[in-house]
Copies of this chain bind each other. A is one copy, B any other.
Amino acid sequence: MKFEFYNPTRLIFGAGVLEKLGEAVRPLGGRALLVMGRGSARRSGLYDRVAGILSASGVSVVPFEGVEPNPRLDTVLRGSEAARSEGCDVVVALGGGSVMDAAKVMAAGVFYPGDLWDMMYVGPRRPRLPERALPIVTVPTLAATGSEMNDGAVITYQDLKVKAFVEAECLFPRVAVVDPELTLTVPRNQTAYGVSDIIAHVTEAYFNGVDGTPIQDSFAEGVLRAVVQWGPVAVEEGGNLEARTQVQWASVVALNGWVQVGTRGAYPVHMMEHTLSGIHDVPHGAGLAVLNPAWMRFAAPHRPERFAQFARNVFGVREEDHLTAAMRGIEALEDLLKRMGCPLTLGELGISDPDPELYARATLEVAGDREGMLRGRPGMSRLDLVGIFRSVL
């Protein structure tokens, strides 16, 4: 193990902490670009509540609405321009992963010279990372991406239908105000997709990282057990605050670096899914539900003991034989996802004209290394990717 770790986001967590938003934002700025999605915050009254809290602390609000799922580069650009023209000195993201990711890049875009797309990791080119951003405060309304407490963002370039990510220290939110009460009204399917996303964040590092990280393994298994326990409850009983709290907390730690630290994990399933949602605009967590078990079926024979550890420590599988246990674990994951209402095939995902060859090529174009392989354990060739996409037709 040899690594660096840094995460300076101040986390304020718990039911009711939204009330602290004003005091969290005020020291950072007096005029906030309040970034939101496509209307639900306005309809539910949450916008009014947040605007009221901010105003009461002396922060004026410039609302920016309309961030779509799989947020587009042109939307981000408009946000940066709005922040600049309105003289905003802080950015508050009120929404799910799309809103938070878009808000982060908007905050950096205010200072970024040239084309925002240059900051994204696309193919083997070296991105020109942003070095400065307006202070960012995240207020997640969905437990899913973990974007509230990390320095990453995923943006879709609408013209190219390419979805790519950026990671830079200036994108760490200064404060994350994480109030599980805001998730009580999230619909069943979005709740389930969020859980699927949380699971994938943890399994990626767990299965694609280096050996010899027993503490991180325990962390990962603990987060997974928590969502296995509480995820279906949150789906079945949306108003169950305890379930919402546990799932929300899992979403924070699933991608704030505590589970990944020192593992040098790769994210092959995310890279494959970004292709799907880049092309077909499907929900990210739903795409992950299709691809994560499929990838596991491909990868397990290469490392049965690791997948058996997952099966035993997360799902309590008791089979002695590693590969048999591994397969039982993957089945248990599929069963969990299915019970929550997640799709397990491209058809169930609503893709009527699937093109595995295209997906494989497109994935490698964005995320392939110089040898044309997708990083992971094992590394994957174009044909491997085609096989995985075919397995979920």
Binding site for B on A (CB under 8 A): 1-17, 212, 214-215, 217-219, 221-223, 225-226, 229, 242, 245-246, 249-250, 253, 258, 262
A1 contacts B245, C-beta separation under 8 Å: yes
Q: How many copies of the chain does the oligomer comprise?
A: 2
B214 contacts A222, C-beta separation under 8 Å: yes
Given contacts A6-B8, A215-B222, 7 further A-B contacts (CB under 8 A): A1-B13, A4-B10, A6-B10, A7-B7, A214-B246, A215-B246, A215-B249
Could you write out 25 A-B pairs with CB less than 8 Å apart? A1-B245, A1-B249, A2-B13, A2-B14, A3-B14, A4-B12, A5-B10, A5-B11, A5-B13, A6-B8, A6-B10, A8-B8, A214-B222, A214-B226, A214-B229, A215-B226, A215-B246, A215-B249, A215-B253, A217-B222, A218-B219, A218-B221, A218-B225, A218-B226, A221-B222
Nearest Cβ distance between residue A149 and chain B, in whole angstroms? 9
B11 contacts A6, C-beta separation under 8 Å: yes
Of all A-B residue pairs in the complex, the 3 with the closest CB atoms, nearest first, are A218-B222, A2-B14, A8-B8
Question: In the complex, what residues of B have CB within 8 A of residue A219's CB?
Answer: 218-219, 222
A242 contacts B6, C-beta separation under 8 Å: no
A13 contacts B4, C-beta separation under 8 Å: yes
Distance, CA A150 to CA B60, complexed state (A): 35
Nearest Cβ distance between residue A131 and chain B, in whole angstroms? 14
Distance, CA A1 to CA B253, complexed state (A): 14
Complex: chain B residue closest to A169, CB-CB: B10
Nearest Cβ distance between residue A183 and chain B, in whole angstroms? 14
B7 contacts A3, C-beta separation under 8 Å: no
Distance, CA A17 to CA B3, complexed state (A): 9
A250 contacts B215, C-beta separation under 8 Å: yes
Complex: chain B residue closest to A16, CB-CB: B2
From B1, B14, B222, A14 is in contact (CB under 8 Å) with B1
Query: Knowing A11-B4, A13-B4, A17-B2 touch, does A223 contact B212 (C-beta < 8 A)?
Result: no
From B2, B10, B13, B246, A15 is in contact (CB under 8 Å) with B2
Distance, CA A219 to CA B225, complexed state (A): 12
Question: In the complex, what residues of B have CB within 8 A of residue A215's CB?
Answer: 222-223, 226, 246, 249-250, 253
